[in-house]
Chains A and B, each alone.
Chain A
Amino acid sequence: MTDEPIVLGIETSCDETGVGIVRGTTLLANVVASSVDEHARFGGVVPEVASRAHLEAMVPTVERALRTAGLTLADIDAIAVTAGPGLAGTLLVGVAAAKAYALATGKPLYGVNHLAAHVAVDTLEHGPLPEPAVALLVSGGHSSLLRVDDLARGVQPLGATIDDAAGEAFDKVARLLGLPFPGGPPIDRAAQSGDGSAIAFPRGLTAPRDMREHRFDFSFSGLKTAVARWVEARQRAGEPVPVADVAASFQEAVCDVLTAKAIDACRSQGIETLLIGGGVAANSRLRAMATERAARYGIQVRVPRPGLCTDNGAMVAALGTHLVSSGVPPSGLDIPADSALPVEVVSLAEKVA
């Protein structure tokens, strides 16, 4: 099909400068320049360090994406960019760049929601999303359950973390265990040789009282502290810390709560599709547990491949082509970068004068 829109997507909500190019639901390019190595010694992403890296990487990353796709800007139908949520300073670099590319080329601009883009990216791998669907988005900055009735216009929050994001808990526990940042991959690896039932770590917001008020919310702060107490008690007693068992038991606790609440959300809403996205969706245990549990209830689980789960420009471009195809109006050149953009706002439409 030649009439499918081609969109260039720009993502700078955290530490990855991502530029992707998508035609319809076909991925043409997905180039990511990450500043993660510059943040490792700080144990977390430093916004100013990330913002500086975005400025340096922006134009070279756009050029690499165009070369990869074998296209020029003249072939692009629209520019999409993450307008939020995310880090204010890093978002602004991408938004300003996208506006300049749109203005210089005369192409429409779409300022889009980062969380909706994490949902949209799955269409590149598994085709159009059956609607309604429940989306579980878990990363270093977000842990949300969403109901997606219409990816172009209708996304509703069901619940979210009330303290740490799931990925943040992985980072902090990794540090505690002497594993590198970011903590997701090394914990996943360490857990392979550990016993996930070795230590009974707490499952946040699953007590009967919490399930009344916070049925679809998450809490990982107490889990993180419980792991710290357990490890410190071992160290004080002069005993070795069984890293593999701690990693596996921590990971089991996180995945247990995430999948239980996600499936509860699907069942309570009568929804048969569960989509999992965000960097933590790359976790092997989460993928396996979700698939196994969902199968019991006839729920179909969709998880994009790990390279599309972490922040990237292709997800922004994928949402962009969906918005163009759905006839959603573009954004004005005056849109802000909104670090707290509500999840219901899939795209920033042009202001009505």
Chain B
Amino acid sequence: MSANHSHAANHGENPLRSHVIGFAISLALTFFSFGLVMSGVLASSTTLVVVVIAAAMQVFAQFHYFLHLDSSSTQRMNVMVLIYTIVIIAILVGLSLWIMYNTHIRMMPIPMAR
């Protein structure tokens, strides 16, 4: 990518092309999610499952098309660190919620005022 000034984007893969694809996917998923929640056509539990899947797809699309993370060798360290971070986040968030919801369920309801 060194000194080929104006020709840079005309050879091989155009970085803008990938950005347009990522933007279109993100836009479509955002419209879909907001539309689904605001219209309330599905039961709220079903809606939440669908919007979480849509969010996961959008995060994946943005990592892939905006940040260009993939399995190529130049990206290996970046991807490894990302996977490690996802494991830490899964432990941190998953176990926090597990502990706190169990604590909540096991607590006897306390009458607030008498």
The answer to whether A and B belong to the same complex is no
